Amino acid sequence: MNLDFSDDQKYLKEEARKFFEKENTLKATRKTLEDKLFIDQDLWNKVVALGWTGITIPEEYDGLGLGHLELCVLAEEMGKVLAPIPFSSSVYLFTEAINKFASEDIKKEILPKLVTGEIVGTLGVTEDLHAPTEENISTSSNKGRINGKKIAVPDAKAATHSIVVTKSSSGIDLRLVCHESDGVSINHMDSIDESRGHFSIDFKDVDSELIGEEGNGWECYQSLIDQAAVLFSFEQIGGAQASLDMALEYAKERYAFGRQIGSFQAIKHKLADMYVSITLAKSNSYYAAWALSTNSSDLPVASATARVSATKAFQFCSKENIQTHGGNGFTWEYDCHLFYRRSKLLSLNLGSLSNWKNRLVTGLEKSNIN
Amino acid sequence: MNLDFSDDQKYLKEEARKFFEKENTLKATRKTLEDKLFIDQDLWNKVVALGWTGITIPEEYDGLGLGHLELCVLAEEMGKVLAPIPFSSSVYLFTEAINKFASEDIKKEILPKLVTGEIVGTLGVTEDLHAPTEENISTSSNKGRINGKKIAVPDAKAATHSIVVTKSSSGIDLRLVCHESDGVSINHMDSIDESRGHFSIDFKDVDSELIGEEGNGWECYQSLIDQAAVLFSFEQIGGAQASLDMALEYAKERYAFGRQIGSFQAIKHKLADMYVSITLAKSNSYYAAWALSTNSSDLPVASATARVSATKAFQFCSKENIQTHGGNGFTWEYDCHLFYRRSKLLSLNLGSLSNWKNRLVTGLEKSNIN
Amino acid sequence: MDFNDTKEQAIFRKKCRDWLEANATLKSESSTNSFSEDKSYLDTSREWQKKKFDAGWAMLHWPKEYGGIAATPIERIIWNSEEAKFDVPRGIYDIGLGMCGPVMMQYATEEQKQRYLPAMAEGKEIWCQLFSEPSAGSDVAGLRTKAEKKGDKWIINGQKVWTSGAHFSDFGILVVRHDPNLPKHKGMTFFFVDMKSPGIDIKPIKQITGGSNFNEVYFNDVEIPDSQRLGDVGDGWKVAITTLMNERLAVGDASGADVNEAFKWAKGQDDMGGKLIDNMAARESIADWYCEANGLKNTKLRTMSALSKGDTPGPEASITKIVSANKLQAIGNFGIDSADMAGMLVNENNEIDDFQSAWLGAPGLRIAGGTDEILRNIIAERVLGLPEDQRVDKDIPYKDIPSGK
Amino acid sequence: MDFNDTKEQAIFRKKCRDWLEANATLKSESSTNSFSEDKSYLDTSREWQKKKFDAGWAMLHWPKEYGGIAATPIERIIWNSEEAKFDVPRGIYDIGLGMCGPVMMQYATEEQKQRYLPAMAEGKEIWCQLFSEPSAGSDVAGLRTKAEKKGDKWIINGQKVWTSGAHFSDFGILVVRHDPNLPKHKGMTFFFVDMKSPGIDIKPIKQITGGSNFNEVYFNDVEIPDSQRLGDVGDGWKVAITTLMNERLAVGDASGADVNEAFKWAKGQDDMGGKLIDNMAARESIADWYCEANGLKNTKLRTMSALSKGDTPGPEASITKIVSANKLQAIGNFGIDSADMAGMLVNENNEIDDFQSAWLGAPGLRIAGGTDEILRNIIAERVLGLPEDQRVDKDIPYKDIPSGK
| Structure confidence by residue, pLDDT tens digits, B40-61 | 999 999 999 999 999 999 999 9
CB of C272 within 8 Å of a chain A CB? The answer is yes
Contacts of D290 in chain A (CB under 8 A): 305, 360-361, 364
CA distance C298 to chain B (A): 5
User: Are C368 and A331 a contacting pair at CB < 8 A?
Assistant: no
Nearest to A110 by CA among A177, A206, A51: A177
SS3 content of chain C, % helix, strand, coil (to 5): 50, 15, 35
User: Are C402 and A135 a contacting pair at CB < 8 A?
Assistant: no
In tens, the pLDDT along C375-391 reads: 999 999 999 999 999 88
In tens, the pLDDT along B205-217 reads: 999 999 999 999 9
**DSSP secondary structure string for all residues of A13-47:** HHHHHHHHHHTTHHHHHHHHHHTT-SS-HHHHHHH
Of the candidates B276, B293, B308, the beta carbon closest to that of C322 is on B276
Query: B259, D392 in Cβ contact below 8 A?
Result: yes
Binding partners of A (≥3 Cβ pairs within 8 A): B, C, D
Angle in degrees, 0-180, between the axes of helices D7-23 and D73-83, rounded to the nearest 10: 40
In tens, the pLDDT along A21-54 reads: 999 999 999 999 999 999 999 999 999 999 999 9
Give the percent of chain B with pLDDT over 70: 99
Per-residue pLDDT at A370:
43
End-to-end CA distance of chain A: 25
Query: D100, D126 in Cβ contact below 8 A?
Result: no
Reported as a pLDDT band with limits 50, 70 and 90, residue B367 is confident
Higher pLDDT, C243 or C357: C357
Instruction: Note the ipTM here.
Output: 0.96
Please tell me the total number of residues recorded for chain A in this structure: 370
d(CA D107, CA D233): 12
Residues contacting residue C289 through CB under 8 Å, at least 6 positions apart: C258, C259, C262, C327, C330, C331
CB of C281 within 8 Å of a chain B CB? The answer is no
User: Are B271 and C302 a contacting pair at CB < 8 A?
Assistant: no
Of the candidates B69, B248, B286, the beta carbon closest to that of C298 is on B286
On the 0-12 / 13-18 / 19+ scale of CB atoms within 10 A, D309 is exposed
Query: B121, B195 in Cβ contact below 8 A?
Result: no
Contacts of A331 in chain C (CB under 8 A): 205-208
SS3 content of chain D, % helix, strand, coil (to 5): 50, 15, 35
Flag whether pLDDT at C147 surpasses 50: yes
Per-residue pLDDT at C32:
61
Of the candidates D279, D390, D392, the beta carbon closest to that of C280 is on D279
On the 0-12 / 13-18 / 19+ scale of CB atoms within 10 A, C55 is middle
In tens, the pLDDT along C301-347 reads: 898 888 878 777 767 667 999 999 999 999 999 999 999 999 999 99
d(CA B251, CA A266): 17
Q: What is the mean pLDDT of residues D375-395?
A: 93
CA distance A266 to chain B (A): 6
In tens, the pLDDT along C10-53 reads: 999 999 999 999 999 998 876 666 667 778 889 999 999 999 99
Contacts of A265 in chain B (CB under 8 A): 264-266
Mean of the per-residue pLDDT values for chain B?
Answer: 97
Contacts of A251 in chain D (CB under 8 A): 386
Flag whether pLDDT at B265 surpasses 60: yes
CA distance A257 to chain B (A): 14
Query: B312, D346 in Cβ contact below 8 A?
Result: no
- H-run or E-run covering C329: helix C316-338
Per-residue pLDDT at B226:
97
Q: Which of residues 31-90 of D touch B (CB under 8 A)?
A: none
Q: How many CB atoms lie within 10 A of CB A34?
A: 11
CA distance C163 to chain A (A): 12
**DSSP secondary structure string for all residues of C197-218:** STTEEEEEEPBTTS---EEEEE
Reported as a pLDDT band with limits 50, 70 and 90, residue D41 is confident
Chain A residue with minimum CA distance to D391: A263
Chain C residue with minimum CA distance to B306: C291
Query: D82, D17 in Cβ contact below 8 A?
Result: yes
In tens, the pLDDT along D146-200 reads: 999 999 999 999 999 999 999 999 999 999 999 999 999 999 999 999 999 999 9
Q: Are strands D127-130 and D171-177 parallel, antiparallel or unpaired?
A: parallel
Is the pTM here over 0.90, yes or no?
yes
Higher pLDDT, B271 or D60: B271
Q: What is the mean pLDDT of residues B29-50?
A: 97
Per-residue pLDDT at C254:
64
**DSSP secondary structure string for all residues of D303-362:** HHHHHHTTPPP-SHHHHHHHHHHHHHHHHHHHHHHHTGGGGGBSSS-HHHHHHHHHHHHH
CA distances A341 to A24, A92, A191, A196, A315, Å, are 19, 21, 10, 10, 9
The CA dihedral of A316, A319, A321, A323, to the nearest 10 degrees, is: -130
The angle subtended at Cα A24 by Cα A18 and Cα A25, nearest 5°, is 90
Higher pLDDT, C312 or D111: D111
Q: What is the mean pLDDT of residues B117-124?
A: 98
DSSP H helices in A325-335: 326-329
Q: Are strands C127-130 and C146-150 parallel, antiparallel or unpaired?
A: unpaired
Which residues of chain A register pLDDT less than 50? 370
Per-residue pLDDT at B370:
43
User: Are A3 and D305 a contacting pair at CB < 8 A?
Assistant: yes
Of the candidates B327, B340, B348, the beta carbon closest to that of D343 is on B348
d(CA D32, CA D43): 14
CB of C367 within 8 Å of a chain B CB? The answer is no
Per-residue pLDDT at C128:
95
Query: A258, C393 in Cβ contact below 8 A?
Result: yes
Mean of the per-residue pLDDT values for chain C?
Answer: 92
User: Are C270 and A125 a contacting pair at CB < 8 A?
Assistant: no
User: Are A370 and D264 a contacting pair at CB < 8 A?
Assistant: yes
Q: How many CB atoms lie within 10 A of CB C330?
A: 18
SS3 assignment for chain B: CECCCCHHHHHHHHHHHHHHHHCCHHHHHHHHHHCCCCCCHHHHHHHHHCCHHHCCCCHHHCCCCCCHHHHHHHHHHHHHHCCCCCHHHHHHHHHHHHHHHCCHHHHHHHHHHHHHCCCCEEEECCCCCCCCCCCCCCCEEECCEEEEEEEEEECCCCCCEEEEEEEECCEEEEEEEECCCCCEEEEEECECCCCCCEEEEEEEEEECEEECCCCEHHHHHHHHHHHHHHHHHHHHHHHHHHHHHHHHHHHHHCEECCEEHHHCHHHHHHHHHHHHHHHHHHHHHHHHHHHHHCCCCCHHHHHHHHHHHHHHHHHHHHHHHHHHCHHHHCECCCCHHHHHHHHHHHHHCCCCHHHHHHHHHHHHHHCCCC
d(CA B64, CA B305): 29
CB of A323 within 8 Å of a chain B CB? The answer is no
Please tell me the total number of residues recorded for chain B in this structure: 370
CB of C284 within 8 Å of a chain D CB? The answer is yes
d(CA C392, CA C313): 32
User: Are C387 and B3 a contacting pair at CB < 8 A?
Assistant: no
Q: What is the mean pLDDT of residues C341-366?
A: 96
What does residue C216 show for φ and ψ, rounded to 5 degrees?
-95, 135
CB of C194 within 8 Å of a chain B CB? The answer is no
